[in-house]
Chain A
Amino acid sequence: MRGIRKAFPGVVALDGVDLEVRRGEVHVLLGENGAGKSTLMKILSGALARDAGDIEIEGQPVQIGTPREAQRLGVRTIYQELTLVPYLSSAENIFLGREPRRMPGVIDTHRMRLETERLLGGLGLRVDPWRPVRELGIAQQQMVEVAKALDDDARILIMDEPTSALTDAEITELFATIERLTARGTAIVYISHRLEEVARVGHAVTVLRDGRRVATCRVGEVPLSHLIRLMADRELSEHFPKHRVARGEEVLRVEGLGRQGALHDVDLCVHRGEVVGLAGLLGAGRTELARAIVGADHRDAGTIRIKGAPVDVRHPADAIRRGVGFLPEDRKTQGLVLGLSVGDNIALPSLARLSRAGVVQTGVQASVAARLVRELRIKTPGLQQLAQQLSGGNQQKVVLAKWLAANADVLIMDEPTRGIDVGAKVELYELMNQFTARGGGILMISSELPEIVSMSDRILVMRLGRIVAEFDAADATQERVLGAALGHAA
């Protein structure tokens, strides 16, 4: 792949990236969240169209416009989320859509069974081909997925974070499969967040940062710490208008928070006047932590104190009543009711306060909403405008306005600036400053290292459902935070 470029409205996801993968080699793609790894692989697998650049397979220039063309050229992809039909057997899954026929419309089950046994056997998996895949373990399901991908003449196999759901024993199994494949000459592009895997399975590694290739090298030529520096080393070109204010009393304390399979013994606290940044890789448990704190998901263990008083949070209403506001990761599906107006969205958490005997006082509601639209400079033709018609930045401001209207003392913001343009980002940072200056506390989840490092007063780093490091703003660097998130002691 040469000079691959892809732009989305507002961002350049890939800017002239080259990638060369050889037969029989595992080529690891490294990069932070949003570095462009997935976009690059979607282009190779035909899921996205590129804006510029060339792709050659075995020396031949090729056009890959659709997943079907990629398939035909021998490019196979295994996504992070498995794409098996759980109630069908492994044989049925492997041959889904291209079942061998005995005569038109009648499946040749005998051949299907033999082929499945051969394919799975080649990967070292011995299971009944007619067993529904939902009864298999995750690693076994993944092998069925691999078998599905490898049926005929697969030349290039893309694996996106294949180990994220696996136990150590299952990872060993998967790596054995990968070795068998490379021995056959298959080229593998392996996307991972786990640095230790680079050394275990990788032959070559390419580091992406902000849509550019920053380095390609053979594994073993450079130390891991150097790779981390390459991934994180980014200029703080964006403007972060951080104002620090004196830290006040504690507004939120979480102790021993646990949730089966997601969170383990998490402690944290947020004080008035501070922004606590929560860093970590995708899947580290940050969103799960935020949702457990506000009662959106249940927790198995742990206590939550809001403004000093223990609160048994079982429903978001419990946390909200005591002054916690939650800005979820996905504004459109979780933060807003898109079909309701700006004014109705802003008032939603506060309707009880804005009404008398169950009747909404529309005048009061309108004046509260109008005040916030003015203060937050939400660009909308009016309060009656539907939320779905606003831009991303203005939508996020509406979500923030909801919690300001509800007089929240603590805000939990999950990726608050994702997908919004630079100007709106700076405005949002200013609003965060105003909130902390007035004595509010913020817990901010972010995958953007510059944002975390620049806007936080303290930084917590999560990895595999635990908080593994804490930094003061003064000693935090992007490199140290990323190193901790990757599990590599700085």
Chain B
Amino acid sequence: MITSIGRRQLGTLAGLAGLCALLTVLTPHFLTVSNLLNITEQTTINAVIAVGMTFVILSGGIDLSVGSLVALSGIVLGSALQLHLPLPVAILLGLLTGAACGLVNGVLITRGRLPPFIATLGMMSMARGAALLYTDGRPISGFEEGFRVLSTGRPLMIPSPVLLMAGVYLAAHFVLTRTIFGRYVYAIGGNEEATRLSGVRVGYYKTQVYVLSGVTSAVAAVTLTARLNSAQPIAGIMYELDAIAATVIGGTSLMGGSGTLVGTLIGALIMGVLRNGLNLIGISSFLQQVVIGAVIIAAVLLDSTLSARAASARAKRTAANAAA
């Protein structure tokens, strides 16, 4: 398992490297420290949302509500700051908002037996509506200067959003690979019934996965709000699609059960590099959408062709073993 996923990650990584090489040749502005930091910083939000999305997709589900949860948690955070609550309290309230919405998603899916697509589609609309209702459609701004440091600060010369992203990935990678929760996520996505019959309370863990996705959306909301220096009810539109794209480009199976966070991070970076590079070489934002869509399709197509070929080679090997 480790070798096969390693190979897959290497493929994605090779894609990223090839893309970077191409852009280095095409424009002198690409390979500079400031531009690379810029890309990483811009990737942060998508990459962090994609962490929760990876857990959800690994467990065999999908979460369409993440973009709206970015907006709603951002609004809660912004309102708390406007009320001059201490920063940690405001952030905690934002995270709790994401967690609570994720909990509702999870309960609807496990207790209500709704398909994840439907439950999170409903949440997507409700959370967006709630954010618009509460703000009457207007952004919330006018925060104290201390808050912006979350976006502009550069401890150790590294932009603080990048540090945040690194921290989230390290923690999530540990959870996914080393804890019971992580094992169960893979097991549930791989075969929910066998996992249930092994005594795992599948519903409980699936619910936690959606809570986690809500929390990572809220973490992204903190970064986004700090960067814009305002909380906007229309923030995060279509973010769910970027997060899903990063996850599947990174090699996570939409059927669940297989994939890694390292892959997702590379997937998010590919999307970031692509946007940045297309901007640098002056391709119109309309054409950019076409290119990005094509890259998503090509990446997954390539991946599924390769893994189908690997599976048939494996089947042949197993048959040969059985015959021997």
A interface residues with partner B (beta carbon < 8 Å): 9, 294, 296, 315-317, 319-321, 326, 328, 333-341, 344, 347-349, 351-352, 355, 358-360, 362, 384, 386, 389, 391, 402, 406
Q: Is the CB of A349 within 8 A of B1?
A: no
Q: Is the CB of A328 within 8 A of B197?
A: yes
**Chain A, Cβ-Cβ closest to B323:** A9
Residues of B within 8 A of A334 (CB): 191, 193-194, 197
Segment at the A interface, from B65-73, B154-162, B180-188: B180-188
**Chain A, Cβ-Cβ closest to B196:** A316
Task: A339-B191, A362-B178 are known; give 9 further A-B pairs, CB within 8 A.
Answer: A336-B191, A344-B183, A347-B183, A349-B199, A351-B180, A358-B179, A389-B314, A391-B321, A406-B199
Q: Is the CB of A360 within 8 A of B258?
A: no
Given contact pairs A386-B1, A389-B318, A336 touches B180 in the complex (Cβ within 8 A): no
Q: How far is the CB of A378 from chain B (nearest CB, A)?
A: 14
Tell me which of B201, B257, B314 contacts A337 (CB under 8 A): B257
Q: Is the CB of B257 within 8 A of A339?
A: yes
**Please, could you name 29 A-B residue pairs with CB atoms under 8 Å apart, sorted by A?**
A316-B197, A317-B200, A319-B199, A321-B199, A333-B194, A334-B197, A335-B197, A337-B195, A338-B190, A339-B1, A340-B1, A340-B186, A340-B187, A340-B190, A341-B1, A348-B183, A348-B187, A348-B195, A348-B200, A351-B180, A351-B183, A358-B180, A359-B178, A360-B183, A384-B2, A389-B318, A391-B318, A391-B321, A402-B198
Docked pose: A224 CA to B217 CA in angstroms: 70
Q: How far is the CB of A250 from chain B (nearest CB, A)?
A: 22
Residues of B within 8 A of A389 (CB): 314, 318
Residues of B within 8 A of A294 (CB): 197
Query: DSSP majority for the A interface?
Result: mixed
Residues of B within 8 A of A315 (CB): 196, 199, 201
B-side interface residues, number (CB < 8 Å): 28
Residues of B within 8 A of A391 (CB): 318, 321-322
Residues of A within 8 A of B183 (CB): 344, 347-348, 351, 360
Q: How far is the CB of B208 from chain A (nearest CB, A)?
A: 11
Docked pose: A294 CA to B193 CA in angstroms: 13
Q: Is the CB of A296 within 8 A of B197?
A: yes
Given contact pairs A352-B180, A360-B179, A339 touches B258 in the complex (Cβ within 8 A): yes
Residues of A within 8 A of B314 (CB): 389
Residues of A within 8 A of B258 (CB): 339
Docked pose: A215 CA to B125 CA in angstroms: 68
Residues of A within 8 A of B195 (CB): 337, 348
Find residues 210-243 in chain B having any chain A CB closer than 8 Å to their own CB: none
Docked pose: A333 CA to B196 CA in angstroms: 12
Docked pose: A341 CA to B194 CA in angstroms: 14
Query: DSSP majority for the B interface?
Result: helix
Residues of B within 8 A of A341 (CB): 1
Q: How far is the CB of A315 from chain B (nearest CB, A)?
A: 7
B interface residues with partner A (beta carbon < 8 Å): 1-3, 178-181, 183-184, 186-187, 190-191, 193-201, 257-258, 314, 318, 321-322
**Chain B, Cβ-Cβ closest to A389:** B318
Residues of A within 8 A of B180 (CB): 351-352, 355, 358-360
Residues of B within 8 A of A320 (CB): 198-199
Q: How far is the CB of B196 from chain A (nearest CB, A)?
A: 6
Q: Is the CB of A337 within 8 A of B179?
A: no
The 4 A-B pairs at the shortest CB distance, nearest first, are namely: A320-B199, A337-B190, A317-B199, A339-B190
**Chain A, Cβ-Cβ closest to B322:** A391
**Chain B, Cβ-Cβ closest to A391:** B322
Of B3, B200, B314, chain A has the most CB atoms within 10 Å of the CB of B200
Docked pose: A337 CA to B322 CA in angstroms: 21
Residues of B within 8 A of A358 (CB): 179-181
Of B3, B180, B186, B321, chain A has the most CB atoms within 10 Å of the CB of B180
Residues of A within 8 A of B184 (CB): 351
Q: Is the CB of B191 within 8 A of A338?
A: yes
Tell me which of B199, B257, B321, B322 contacts A9 (CB under 8 A): B322
Residues of A within 8 A of B193 (CB): 333-334
Q: How far is the CB of A223 from chain B (nearest CB, A)?
A: 44
Q: How far is the CB of B174 from chain A (nearest CB, A)?
A: 8
Q: How far is the CB of B283 from chain A (nearest CB, A)?
A: 39
Residues of B within 8 A of A337 (CB): 186-187, 190-191, 194-195, 257
Q: How far is the CB of B32 from chain A (nearest CB, A)?
A: 41
Q: Is the CB of A333 within 8 A of B191?
A: yes
**Chain B, Cβ-Cβ closest to A406:** B199
Residues of B within 8 A of A336 (CB): 191, 194
Of A320, A339, A362, A406, chain B has the most CB atoms within 10 Å of the CB of A339
Q: How far is the CB of B302 from chain A (nearest CB, A)?
A: 20
